[in-house]
Structure 1
Amino acid sequence: MSKQIDIARAGAHEQVAVVSFNRPDKMNALTKIMEGQLRDTFIALDRDETVRAIVLTGSGRAFCAGMDIAELEVLPPEDIRAAEWMRPYDMNRRADYQSRYSYFMGVRKPIISAINGAAAGLGLVFALYSDVRFASDKAIFSTAFAKRGLIAEHGIAWMLPRVVGPGHAADMLYSARKVSADEALAMRLVERVLPHETLLADTIAYADDLATNVSPRSIRIMKQQLGEVPFQTLAEAIALANREMFHSIQSEDFTEGVAHFVERRQARFTGA
């Protein structure tokens, strides 16, 4: 089986995993092989206690240009419901974040997309399911679906309005037009636009700061809180926060968080 996903370690203590789509000659268009390798990679990184942050990017000039058209042409309709792509990998997590591509949000570590070029169709879906999005000044975004006779796939109709608002979401979905990096920043589709030449290094530096200076336990719980919010009332969100604050105050990371601040030294968080 060809290797279509690359993994490397980065950061001061190699606690950042850099995951790269690796079909540069095809603008990293998604194949079944790549899809399976990506999910297996994320599951493995989620379970790896030496990894504290994940950077997702593309090899070559594109982030991910969507599904490979050669595979899309022969895609059987029943594939979209195939159990192999919808299987849960952790029965203790919300089912909403276990399905095809939404599993990004079930990964306990922060996922930061370094969008180095075209992010179209599924490429945009991957970016949206990431926690944070940094874009190259050469990046281009498009939903693409309407121009292929398709619909808003894989939960993007739920996710996109939450990121950019309903009007921008409708515009991007209906027109399938190309959106520049600057426009993406203006509509809050991305958090930062960075020079193309420094995008990956700057994104890794951000991820390394999270891995080094922030409690992994805090991020893990905060990511859970952010994931639960769309399904909660305010009262339920407060109840979850109060419950988790009680546990946080008893954690090793809280003890270390106070100690390193008082002693004015580098934090040594364990995630416990």
Structure 2
Amino acid sequence: MFNTLLVNPIFNLLVWLYNIFGNLGWAITALTVISKLVLLPLTLPSIKIARKQQELSPEIAKLKERYKDNKMELAKAQTAFLQEHGIYPALGCLPQIISFLVLIALYQSLNLVLKLTPESLAEFNRRLYVPSWYLSTDSLISTSFFYLNLTTKDPFYILPVVSAAFQFLLSKLMMPDSKKFSQQAQKTEGKTDDLAAAMQQQSLYMAPLMTLFLGFSLPSGLTLYWFLTTLLSLVQYRFFWGGWGGLSDWIESASKINLRKRLNFFNK
């Protein structure tokens, strides 16, 4: 059922794109853009919920402090508080689950193409909807893309490192502005905000490290897909988040340095 509903359609779309572009790298790029556009209606509610929860974090921190000894009452109070502000966390989970299932299907579809061998050719052709797309042992898919062979690891590890860097920027963007977070922490008693800050700091580095590890382990075709997904997510969150989030302090510092350099230039 999963293969019929998700894997095979995505797999056929990838093969169709390859037939259009004649290059697997550009086909993966187009597939990534299409998948992000298709998932956008599911992604937007999650972004809005996360943004709203971030804005309400001072009040949520107060609830956590008030009910720190009673987790059941805390759960009830937090759910009621969020619903008062039009946030239903359960509804926000559904798009994430669907997006995750699509991600698995994309991974499996890419694997079918990247791991194509003469031995697996019959299974490859069996999944295709259009007979004219069938391949033979004399016409396997070309996997060259710039300096990469998309079926093997990046020989220079450029793609994994760049992917990890963009994943770090994405994780930082999704964090609250550090100045605002500090002001919120001062308004609440106890160590609830300190704990939240520590957890956010861990997640900031965990995702890039995982990206780096996977990039060193997976074929560069999958790493290319992950890099493009991260890059598009960064653009998507910046556009719909309505700010720079945790990157605000870096941008402010960079602006001050640039202004200082300009002033020094004119003072010469």
- What TM-score do the two structures reach when normalised by structure 1? 0.22
Compare the two structures and name the one with the higher strand fraction: 1
- What TM-score do the two structures reach when normalised by structure 2? 0.22
Compare the two structures and name the one with the higher helix fraction: 2
